[in-house]
A and B are shown apart, each in its own frame.
Chain A
Amino acid sequence: DTGVSQDPRHKITKRGQNVTFRCDPISEHNRLYWYRQTLGQGPEFLTYFQNEAQLEKSRLLSDRFSAERPKGSFSTLEIQRTEQGDSAMYLCASSSTGTKFPYEQYFGPGTRLTVT
């Protein structure tokens, strides 16, 4: 049983460039979450999907951020016109509504973004 995977693990980009991250959840997990973690802080919720539907977005998710989960499997998180403040670890987690509530979230290794 493979866990949550994220790609790439590290990304260095210049300010103003667009970046896209991918998350592959545990197979059969219908819920997928994105969190952002900055240095010395705990993860902060960005958005979540149940199957292909994006059901909640945090106010942290500005217009430059967009997330998709087109077939209810993998998800992508795109940041347009990156800013230095976007530098962070982007974590993906998945869970299954088939288990006992609350649905335990399994986290991936994260994508560390550095904007120069």
Chain B
Amino acid sequence: AQKVTQAQTEISVVEKEDVTLDCVYETRDTTYYLFWYKQPPSGELVFLIRRNSFDEQNEISGRYSWNFQKSTSSFNFTITASQVVDSAVYFCALSEALGGSEKLVFGKGTKLTVNP
């Protein structure tokens, strides 16, 4: 069975601090996909990144970076020099490649508050 665990329920930082959001996943498949979504107070889920299980290369996009480690089943997300606009709930999600539906299994989310 698939499972995504985001152990950090809430994180509060001061603007310009770096912050890392943890994500640990479980799956029996060898081919799978990992995602991060952002949910601002408005409620709409915003796609941030997709990573497949064969590509462990870390990725950087502006102030965002992602660290995928298959050995520890983790897909952590770091925001560098955080800003107030980064305040949101962030969800990590998993999709198995062979299931057909590509349905997303989400973690419970981490609420990030960036204070000025």
Known: A42-B107, A48-B101, A56-B100. A104 touches B47 (CB 8 A): yes
Q: How far does the alpha carbon of A8 sit from the alpha carbon of B100 in the complex, in Å?
A: 30
Would you call A91 and B106 a contact (CB within 8 A)? Answer: no
Most buried by A among B50, B100, B104: B104
Specify which chain A residues have a CB less than 8 angstroms from the CB of B46 in the assembled complex: 107
B97 to chain A, nearest CB (A): 7
Would you call B33 and A106 a contact (CB within 8 A)? Answer: no
Would you call A45 and B91 a contact (CB within 8 A)? Answer: no
Would you call A103 and B102 a contact (CB within 8 A)? Answer: yes
Q: How far does the alpha carbon of A102 sit from the alpha carbon of B101 in the complex, in Å?
A: 10
Would you call A107 and B50 a contact (CB within 8 A)? Answer: no
Give chain A's interface secondary structure class.
strand
Would you call B45 and A43 a contact (CB within 8 A)? Answer: yes
Tally of chain B residues near chain A (CB < 8 A): 25
Would you call A109 and B42 a contact (CB within 8 A)? Answer: yes
Tally of chain A residues near chain B (CB < 8 A): 27
Q: Report if B105 contacts A (CB, 8 A).
A: yes
Would you call A106 and B47 a contact (CB within 8 A)? Answer: yes
Known: A102-B33, A104-B50, A108-B44. A42 touches B102 (CB 8 A): no
Q: List 21 A-B contacts (CB under 8 A).
A: A33-B101, A42-B4, A42-B93, A43-B91, A43-B104, A43-B106, A48-B101, A48-B103, A55-B100, A55-B101, A56-B101, A56-B103, A101-B97, A102-B33, A102-B95, A104-B47, A104-B50, A105-B104, A107-B44, A110-B43, A110-B44
Residues of A within 8 A of B (CB): 31, 33, 35, 40-45, 48, 55-56, 89, 91, 93, 95, 101-110, 112
